[in-house]
Structure formats: structure tokens, C-alpha cells
Structure 1
């Protein structure tokens, strides 16, 4: 859609002369040029991999992996602590699942926390996967 403005031929210019309709038409501009994308491949920063290696504590990704590690007793204790905390805080109550409804799935998230004295604390969190 192009717009054009045509002045009335009876209107006067600032000089005092009448102008013709052709000289007062605004010409449509050319369409905007397409933006071009770089064709260079994305190369991740090499320092990122170094950072990952330095900060990786070897934490388990899932319950099965946590049970198979040498620290499985520490992870088990952390999961029991989390469950006890959820129960004591009355986070939920067990009820019968209504017909036609689906229960939300959950998973365990494991982290090794460093204490102020330099010791390690094994922390487990039970989280709901609400995206399902």
C-alpha cells in the first residue's frame, strides 16, 4: 500500500505561486532491504568448557545414577532428609487421584554444597515436572 499526498492546486507556495499537483506528490520509497545473516559458523568460547570442568562436582543426574555411585549412602540420607522436611512442613497431603485426572511427575535434583569450613554437604531436592 503506497501513500501519496496531493496538495490542492489552489494552495500557494511560500513564494506566493500556485503549485502544480505533480510537483507536490510524495513518491513512494523503495521497499526496505532484507537483512542478511552471517554465514560464519558459531564457535563456542573455549573458556566455557574450562569453566564446566572446574565447576563440575560429579553430581548425579538421576535417581538410578545416585544409587550406583560410591556416595549412594550420602545421597540416600539426603533424600530422606528432604522427604522428612516436606512432611514436617505439610507441603502436601496424600489423596485419591480423581477419575480422568493425571498426576504430576517428579524427579530428584542432586547438588553437592560446599560449607564454610570446606566440607561437602549432599543435598537432594524433590521437584515437580510441571511441564508435562
Structure 2
């Protein structure tokens, strides 16, 4: 039996600052990052803030408890960290890679409308 990847058990509130740092270094805002996360997970701003306040919510629980994963997330394709997003088979890891790809696109200056596949 394969062991779960350690990121699954990592607190989402511990991961969030890394995403925020990445986008802010490139001149993007917390609001844009939150918009990306909310688009993917179906959280509203208050719901996302609530999840971030709960230090014990791990990545697996954060995505499992998401109100409504965006049906257009299948449009997220490309390579992130040397891995082709659409080729990832494990569902949770695929979702994490999709978020990584959205954050990368935001940090690289793509317009928010394009990042959100609208």
C-alpha cells in the first residue's frame, strides 16, 4: 500500500503563506490569491478566512470539505514542478497541483480572468 504524501497532512493555513509570498513577490495581491482559491474550491471569502483560522485543518480536509470544487478545473493543464497536471492520477494530489498551477499563472502575471478560465 502506498503511503500518503506528507503534504496531505500539512496544515492548509501553513501552506497559504507560501502561496501568498509567491504572488506578492510578483506584484499580485492577497485578494487575487483568495479569488483563485475560492474559484477552485467554491469557498466564499468568509469561508476561506474561516478555514485559514483553523490551524488544525490539513490540506486533505480543506479540499474534502470544499463547498463545491469548480467543474472547470479540468481546464487547468500544463506543467508545475516538473509534473504535468492533467497526468496526475491521485485525485487529491491532482487538486493540489491544479492549485499550484493557478498560483503559478497568477504569479507570472496572467490576467485573473484567464487564470480563472473565464
TM-score category of the 2 structures, normalised to the smaller one: under 0.3
Greater RCO (Cα-Cα under 8 Å, separation 6 or more): 2
Rg larger in structure: 1
Question: Could you state the TM-score of these two structures normalised by the residue count of structure 1?
Answer: 0.21
More strand by proportion, 1 or 2?
1
